[in-house]
Amino acid sequence: MLEAPVVSSPALPLAGRHIVLGLSGGVACYKAADFARELVKAGATVQVVMTDAACQFITPVTMQALTNRPVFTSQWDARESNHMPHINLTRGAHAVVVAPASADFIAKLAQGRADELLSLMCLARPRETVPLLVAPAMNREMWAHPATQRNVAQVKADGATVLGPAAGDQACGEIGDGRMLEAHELRDELTAFFQPKVLAGRSVLVTAGPTFEAIDPVRGITNHSSGKMGFAIARAAAEAGAQVTLVAGPVHLATPRGVRRIDVMSAEQMLAAVLPEAKRHEVFVATAAVADWRPASAATQKIKKDGSGQVPMLAFVENPDILATVARLPAGERPFCVGFAAESHDIVRHAREKLARKGVPLIVANNGPATFGRDDNALVLVDAAGERELPPGDKLSLARALVAEVALRVLPQRA
């Protein structure tokens, strides 16, 4: 019988997923408690399995309280009618995640040793249907040791996905690589893991946010763009397997995991950052709300009002058209271009005019004043064949839908 499809939403991105969470020994077990909580909040059901060493750092009672499920710690657990928890616990699971994964446990995985329940379960899981993800957590010297690096390489070669580690302060007082990722980072990594890899092997360049055109050292011209849509597209493209570069105007948003970020201020700086990158990427999504004009020259000192009631006259010049410039690159250097049109009225008409003027295959139109700064949006895809509305929703859902649409248009070009 076919398994029912998993239906999720950004509010519950792991709804319908059953995750087996394994804890091996390490002080990062305290993060595993937060991780379990994040998984439950994301809609997943969580079954915890702990090693004896893990129980020295956090109690099964805590993990049971967070997951509302009995915790398993022994292969001899008699609660299973067939006395085979190492077999039963992964049947029907969508993934096994070991967090923290100690150096010793990674060595067990690499060598196929199975002397306690968690390693037994990892070895006995159906590998074709139940993926294994491990989040290393250990001292920096242990992580850098050649034996650990060999074991990690072998675990990857055997099909496991390694999440992290991160660098930073460690419980021992040292600083370096080996920290387990934070709970929210692990949640996002797992969410991304389940996304279709429709852009695997592709490279995507995204611009996001406003630009800031200086009038003087204090003031400037900008707009209300928050950058949220562009950052969502960068995240969705990375989730889809692409290598992503994000050129961001002045915004206060966290960089999506796995995304390379370049920060700029003005339209000219954005163009200077985009042009060399565009030639190295296969897809360009111009989400940024770039200022159309800038002062012809910026004052070197703050312009002061003099009480006369007169407004200083400023001369303006047109900013470079970044999307059109990229769309005019030679065929061998030109990526597949997607433009955004943030309009205030006659949205489709202006988008269609922009499609022709820029010379790009796809324009994504929206009502700028209705969406700037918000977490939701409504998009209209405009191309030579017509228009198609994407149902209103949160920006990440729309970003994933747009990435899927772009993949359909780009993939045939590879053949």
Helix (H) / strand (E) element for 375: namely none
Residues 328, 411: Cα–Cα separation, whole Å: 21
**With contact defined as beta carbons under 8 Å apart, do 137 and 178 qualify?**
yes
- Token pair, residue 217, equals 């050292």
CA 57, CA 126: separation in Å to the nearest integer?
29
- Cβ atoms 231, 208 nearer than 8 A: yes
d(CA 68, CA 65): 5
Cα 378 to Cα 243, 397, 401, distances in angstroms: 26, 11, 12
- Cα–Cα distance, 199 to 405 (Å, whole number): 11
Which of 292, 302, 313, 291 shows the shortest CA–CA distance to 219?
302
Distance CA 193, CA 187 (A): 10
- Helices of type H across 26-102: 29-41, 60-67, 85-88
User: Known catalytic residue: 55?
Assistant: no
Best CA proximity match to 79, nearest among 100, 44, 59, 49: 49
The one catalytic residue among 29, 55, 122, 172: 172
What's the start-to-end Cα distance of the chain, in Å? 35
Q: Which residues are catalytic?
A: 172
